[in-house]
């Protein structure tokens, strides 16, 4: 399973490191630098620190639904979209919703409409992964290929800072079970 992809919205956090800020503070105070081990109250292991603001998204668990009967008519595949965030524009810190490809298409249309009515009409929304030929639409390989494509597409869209901080449509798509196309 792939790890979550995190999008930091703090420019200052991305550009500075704790070590760099300590070194520059020491230099400014006129302290001499020494080489070798120094006593520290900090733990010696370097671990992952949660970014100031983050949005993590995964597209997982494709499930194909079969209608009653022997026909393939009405079959569809949906995916779990998992969202973890601490962004103030998102009411839930964790959410998990199921989405069909048609929901992604509807989401894209809603984003275009929202952006055309906002002060950010120049935000570029990439194309969704293409339709799958009917003959292989429900093969395991095709479903996995589409899942990966949708994950890349959604990460690209959700990674845009203007959408993270101001798109109600993005929040609804990621966190509202009733959002359907």
Please state the φ and ψ torsions of residue 81, each to the nearest 5 degrees: -110, 115
- For residue 77, the enclosing domain spans 55-175
Q: What does the pLDDT read at residue 7?
A: 52
Judge whether 35 lies within some domain.
no
Domain membership flag for residue 128: yes
Q: Is residue 12 part of a domain?
A: no
Burial 55-69, CB ≥16 within 10 A → b, else e: bbbbbeeeeeeeeee
- The lowest-confidence range among 104-113, 131-140, 146-155 is 131-140
Residue 36 domain-assigned?
no
Choose the weakest-confidence range: 100-104, 170-174, 176-180: 176-180
Other C-beta atoms lying within 10 Å of the C-beta of residue 37: 6
Residue 74 vs residue 20, higher pLDDT: 74
Predicted confidence (pLDDT) per residue in 66-123, tens digit? 887 666 677 889 999 999 999 999 999 999 999 999 999 999 999 999 988 887 667 8
Number of domains in the chain: 1
Q: Tell me, yes or no, whether 2 lies in a domain.
A: no
Structural domain contains residue 8: no
pTM for this model (two decimals): 0.69
The answer on pLDDT for 16 being more than 90 is: no
pLDDT of residue 10 exceeding 50: no
CATH of the domain at 130: 3.30.1520.10
Report the pLDDT value the prediction gives residue 3, as an integer from 0 to 100: 52
**14 domain-assigned:** no
pLDDT band at 12 (very low <50, low <70, confident <90, very high): very low
143 part of a folded domain: yes
């Amino acid at each position: 399973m792939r790890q979550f992809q995190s999008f930091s919205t703090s420019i200052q956090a991305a550009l500075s490191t704790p070590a760099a800020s300590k070194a520059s503070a020491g230099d400014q105070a006129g302290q001499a630098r020494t080489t070798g081990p120094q006593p520290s109250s900090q733990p010696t292991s370097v671990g992952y620190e949660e970014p100031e603001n983050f949005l993590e998204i995964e597209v997982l668990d494709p499930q194909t639904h079969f209608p009653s009967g022997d026909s393939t008519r009405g079959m569809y595949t949906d995916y779990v979209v998992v969202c973890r965030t601490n962004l103030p524009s998102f009411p839930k810190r964790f959410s998990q919703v199921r989405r069909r490809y048609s929901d992604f298409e509807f989401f894209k249309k809603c984003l275009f409409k929202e952006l055309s009515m906002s002060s950010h009409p120049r935000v570029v929304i990439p194309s969704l992964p293409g339709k799958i030929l009917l003959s292989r639409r429900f093969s395991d390989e095709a479903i996995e290929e589409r899942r990966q494509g949708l994950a890349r597409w959604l990460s690209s869209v959700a990674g845009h800072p203007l959408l993270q901080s101001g798109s109600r449509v993005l929040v609804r798509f990621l966190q509202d079970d009733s959002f359907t196309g």
